[in-house]
Amino acid sequence: MAADYFIPDVRALARFTPDQITKTDCFRSERLFTGINCLARGQSQKVHTHDGADKFYLVLSGKARIVVGAERRELSAGAIAWAPAGLAHGIDEALEDSVVLVVMSPPPGGGK
Amino acid sequence: MAADYFIPDVRALARFTPDQITKTDCFRSERLFTGINCLARGQSQKVHTHDGADKFYLVLSGKARIVVGAERRELSAGAIAWAPAGLAHGIDEALEDSVVLVVMSPPPGGGK
């Protein structure tokens, strides 16, 4: 969790592990959460659903195949995938080492 | 507003005008909003406060001096500035043509 209100480059927080996706929290309030998911090439995030929480992904670097509902797209830096509450979503496969900003409201696991 | 759940490159939605900052909505639910603010070099967004809404900026391209509370920082692509409810924030000056993702919960002007 950041100590103050600024992160100079969120991509600098990226960590990759050979075994699995890594997640790093950036900021969190009772309403809003943002963090990064880092996936080495070939890694994935299982398709899942959040009841009562809206979420989106913004690809910061790399390239990943992202699923929302019945659609899946290969997305690169600058792409957004929006997953409203109740709609299944996930990262099917990172096609390159990828850093993906995740934003969610309300936050996973409740507020601060 | 996007027709579906994906935007291939949100930076492609950027529009600059000589007179003022432009704002383009991307996605909105009753809880969560995201869009982009585009500022030509020299443009600004007045310091303001949202009561009861948390917000953050993510710089997508360019360079801008962003204010949160008593702090101001020159931020480039990948930087996040987090402005919790009640804390004054704004874009003091775009030092280059800049595209800034804005995320807010709850959305400005109420939900969908």
Chain B residue whose CA is closest to A82: B5
Interchain pair A31, B71: CB under 8 A: no
Alpha-carbon distance values, A6 to A3, A58, A84, B38, B108 (Å): 8, 18, 27, 20, 22
Q: What are phi and psi of A40, to 5 degrees?
A: -70, 160
Residues of chain A with C-beta less than 8 angstroms from the C-beta of B27: 56, 80, 82
Q: Is the pLDDT reported for residue A49 higher than 90?
A: yes
In A, what residues contact B, Cβ < 8 A?
2, 4-12, 26-27, 29, 31-32, 34, 53-56, 58, 60, 66, 68-69, 71, 73, 75-85, 87, 101, 103-106
Closest CA to A59 of A24, A86, A96, A88: A96
Residue-level pLDDT at A2: 42
Q: From the centroid of its chain, how far is CA B86?
A: 17
Chain A residue whose CA is closest to B60: A78
Round to whole Å and give the CA distance between A37 and A25.
Answer: 9
Is A9 exposed, middle or buried, given 0-12, 13-18 or 19+ CB atoms closer than 10 A? middle
pLDDT in tens, A85-110: 999 999 999 999 999 999 999 999 86
Residue with tokens 């809880």: B31
Q: Which residues pair with B75 in a beta bridge?
A: B64
Superfamily of domain B46-112, CATH level 4: Jelly Rolls (2.60.120.10)
Q: What is the mean pLDDT of residues B88-108?
A: 97
Q: What is the DSSP string of chain A?
A: --SSSEES-GGGG----SSS-EEEEEEE-SS-EEEEEEE-TT--EEEE--TT-EEEEEEEESEEEEEETTEEEEEETT-EEEE-TT--EEEEEESSSEEEEEEEESPTTS--
Whether CATH 3.30.470.10 fits A18-105: no
What is chain A's alpha carbon radius of gyration, rounded to the nearest angstrom? 13
Interchain pair B29, A103: CB under 8 A: no
pLDDT-derived band at B51, boundaries 50, 70, 90? very high
Interchain pair A5, B71: CB under 8 A: yes
The answer to whether the predicted template modeling score (pTM) of the entire model surpasses 0.80 is yes
The average confidence (pLDDT) of chain A is 94
Q: Is the pLDDT reported for residue B64 higher than 70?
A: yes
| CB-based contact B25:B1 (threshold 8 Å) | yes
pLDDT-derived band at A111, boundaries 50, 70, 90? low
Q: Is the pLDDT reported for residue B112 higher than 80?
A: no
Residue-level pLDDT at B2: 42
Residue-level pLDDT at A109: 84
Residue-level pLDDT at A80: 98
The average confidence (pLDDT) of chain B is 95
pLDDT in tens, A52-69: 999 999 999 999 999 999
Residue-level pLDDT at A61: 97
Closest CA to B31 of A83, A67, A70: A83
